[in-house]
Amino acid sequence: MVEVSIGEFARLSRLSPKALRLYDELGLLPPARVDPATGYRWYETGQLERAGLVVSLRQIGVPLARVAELLELDSDVAVADQVIGYWSGVEDEHAGRRELAGYLVRRLTGDSTDLYQVDTREQPERRLLCLKRNVDQAGAWTLGREFVGLIQSRPVPRLPGRAGAVFTIYYGEVSEDSDGPVEWCLPVPADDAAAAAAGFPELTLRTERAHEEAFVHLGNTMASPPRWQLLQEVLRGWVARHERLPADLAPRVTMLAMRPVTSRSVPDVDFAVPLA
């Protein structure tokens, strides 16, 4: 490998010295050698491919923290799979923004056409194991992974069917600007609730009263934040048109695991608002 100065590497990679220093601090693109006496950075021309990958990932909007995770993967195929998944999420979010914008235009111009079918269902009184925290948009995913990891780490009794599905309650707006709070919940049989709670000291046990819900069934689609907002607007409009009262202003996303559960399983999802 040919060793070059940071200035020459900046020219070859088209990255400024400022960017190279940042990527070094984050561990994305450390120099091949640092002069112990002067602190001057030297790079190898073989690092240009990694530099190009970092630049490409940033150009498609991958956050720096996610770039670091991708660079730790052990194969190019694994990186490619992650890029496919990331870009699918970007396209879904863009589609959600387009739908939300269209809905807002229709509402503002007096068009009340329903975009989604809204149904209702009864939920029984349930005992819930919960994890609640104030989180922004990035933290919401971290909280979800933490909760799912917990309930998968040890045996826990489950209720059958939709009533026993894991669900998330959004008590407040979750975005880059607003941090919830958000609560992840797992319904458990009432007779086993105390024992289950003892096995999960990280979680809180509480009771949710029986209630009716208005909901939109999404199937195997995990919607992006703009589409969650759209669904909330759709349900708010439905509640008003049917002269119903929401029990609270906290929508929820229910995720029913479809058997058999594998690493590639996708839950059956719906978005609901409790009714008074």
Could you tell me if 178 and 65 lie in one domain? Answer: no
Q: Is there a single domain that holds both residue 128 and residue 59? A: no
Average pLDDT (34-55) is 91
Distance, in Å, from the CA atom of 251 to the CA atom of 242, rounded to the nearest integer, reads 18
pTM equals 0.66
138 with 21, same domain: the answer is: no
Residues 164 and 255 in one domain: yes
pLDDT tens digit string along 61-77?
Answer: 888 988 999 999 989 99
| 249 and 127 fall within a common domain | yes
The mean pLDDT of the chain is 87
> d(Cα 267, Cα 221) in Å, to the nearest integer?
8
| Residue range(s) defining the domain that contains residue 164 | 119-275
Please list, in sequence order, all residues whose beta carbon lies within 8 angstroms of the beta carbon of residue 220, skipping any fewer than 6 positions away.
266, 267, 268, 269
Number of H helices, E strands in the chain: 8, 11
Q: What's the half-sphere exposure (Cβ side, CA atoms, 13 Å) at 19?
A: 14
Residue 108 in domain: no
Question: In this structure, are 203 and 135 located in the same domain?
Answer: yes
Give CA 122 to chain center in angstroms.
Answer: 27
pLDDT band of 187, cuts 50, 70, 90: very high
Average pLDDT over residues 37-53: 91
Within a domain: residue 93? no
The pLDDT tens digits of the residues spanning 188-197 come to 999 999 999 9
State whether 173 and 37 are in the same domain: no
Domain tally for the chain? 2
222 falls in which pLDDT band (50, 70, 90)? Answer: low
pLDDT of res. 119: 93
CATH, residue 32: 1.10.1660.10
Whether residues 147 and 240 share a domain: the answer is: yes
Does 44 fall in a domain?
yes
Q: Any idea what the CATH number is for the domain that residue 214 is in?
A: 3.20.80.10
Q: Does residue 114 fall inside a structural domain?
A: no
Percent of the chain with pLDDT over 70: 94
